[in-house]
Amino acid sequence: MDTVLISGASIAGPALAYWLRHYGLTPTVVERATAPRPGGQAVDVRGTAREVLARTGVLDEVRAAHTGARGMAFVNASGKRTATMPSDAMGDSGGAIAEIEILRGDLVRILHERTATDVEHLFDDTVTSLTETPGGVDVTFEKSPPRRFDVVVGADGLHSKVRSLAFGPESDFLHDMGAYTAIFGTTQAEDLDGWMLMHTVPGRTAGIYPTPGGGAKGMFVFKSPVLPHDRHDDAFRRDLVARTFAGDGWDVPRLVADMRTAPDFYFDRLCQVRMGAWSRGRVVLLGDAACCASPMAGNGTSVALVGAYLLAGELAVAVDHTTAFRRYEEAMREYARRCQEFALGGMAGLLPDSRWFIRVRDLSMRVIPRVPGLGRVFGDLQKIANTVTLPDYPVRAR
């Protein structure tokens, strides 16, 4: 094995490309966007994933790009805080906000810079077909000439094109979580002082969190049945959010106004990806494409980083791709399962069904930091984040 096609240049893809080059393999990254995607929501880096960043040589740079968030607080309709949780309340990887939080686009940029000069990138392109042969996978692209690769990796997210080509329609693997989310840049003027603020009424939550340079991101999450529509119809989606949150208090009216015109508006259904196997033949899935826990608080960034390190290492040392894929999946399965389980539990706190449950949630948040060990009752994210121990893989002679 030598040549590896990676579909996706968000977080899992660049991380995998770096480690494949490090181990002496030859990766190629294909990405539909015309360049590494900027913006996006804040993401946490927890537990073992920090060690991956340290071994990649970018941990200090990632820390320097921290969003500035130092905790989360829930507020009522008048803006009074009803519960707060500092980021270190349950360990540096255990709180609602991790010790290291960074905008997705900043992490993408940092990882891409590690591979920009020595890894081939095919931007503004996408895979259109995969045909496995005894000697590899024949791949056709929307724009580039057809090529053969030893292995193909789908690191292209929740709506993975590689997964649909190799495994079947996404409806076979997506587990609906009953809600939508929207994320966007805001015109927030007041100083958040490093705190993420959230306002909840039964079935929906609005939030705002700081970003580097004094900016902020807004967020809406709400329960809803699936509403069929064109995924590219942003007008429908913005109207849906506005209707859903109409009449809510706190800063919601201003956030809705910001959402209406935000150029970086993101909207998606909250889903998990559940699959019996992450590989088929010479094709394997990585990150959200394989095991998305949730676009909200599902530990997806850490799973992507750890998975990229393990998959690259196993491909470097295994005698064949089948062995490499098996060992990678064995190492990651329990980690992914626990992250998905945690995300399902977290949905209840994010989208309570009643005002009584909101009061119970806020009370528990006030109590947890004061009672050692109580956080374990609510999932022990600190322990989950350290599920995997990183092996050391030998580097090939070049």
* pLDDT, tens digit (0-9, with 9 covering 90-100), for 315-352: 999 989 999 999 999 999 999 999 999 888 878 888 99
Residue 165 within any structural domain of the chain: yes
Residue 332 within any structural domain of the chain: yes
Read off the amino acid at residue 379: G
Looking at residue 345, what is its pLDDT? Answer: 80
Mean pLDDT of 215-238: 92
* pLDDT, tens digit (0-9, with 9 covering 90-100), for 220-230: 999 999 998 88
Residue 29 within any structural domain of the chain: yes
CATH number, domain with residue 341: 3.50.50.60
Looking at residue 93, what is its pLDDT? Answer: 57
Confidence tier at 255 by pLDDT (50, 70, 90): very high
Confidence tier at 212 by pLDDT (50, 70, 90): confident
Looking at residue 86, what is its pLDDT? Answer: 79
Global pTM value? 0.92
Domain span including residue 295: 3-66+103-174+272-348
Residue 212 within any structural domain of the chain: no
* pLDDT, tens digit (0-9, with 9 covering 90-100), for 181-209: 999 999 876 678 888 999 999 999 999 98
Name the nearest CA neighbour of 337 among 244, 273, 261. Answer: 273
- How far apart CA 223 and CA 244 sit, in angstroms, is 10
Looking at residue 239, what is its pLDDT? Answer: 97
Residue 156 within any structural domain of the chain: yes
Contacts of residue 7, defined as CB under 8 A and 6 or more positions apart, other chains included, come to: 13, 30, 31, 126, 127, 152, 153, 154, 155, 156, 160, 161, 162
Cα-only R_g, the chain: 21
Confidence tier at 294 by pLDDT (50, 70, 90): confident
Mean pLDDT of the chain: 90
Inform me whether the pLDDT recorded for 276 exceeds 70: yes
Number of domains making up the chain: 1
Residue 237 within any structural domain of the chain: no
Residue 250 within any structural domain of the chain: no
Inform me whether the pLDDT recorded for 378 exceeds 50: no
Residue 356 within any structural domain of the chain: no
Inform me whether the pLDDT recorded for 37 exceeds 50: yes
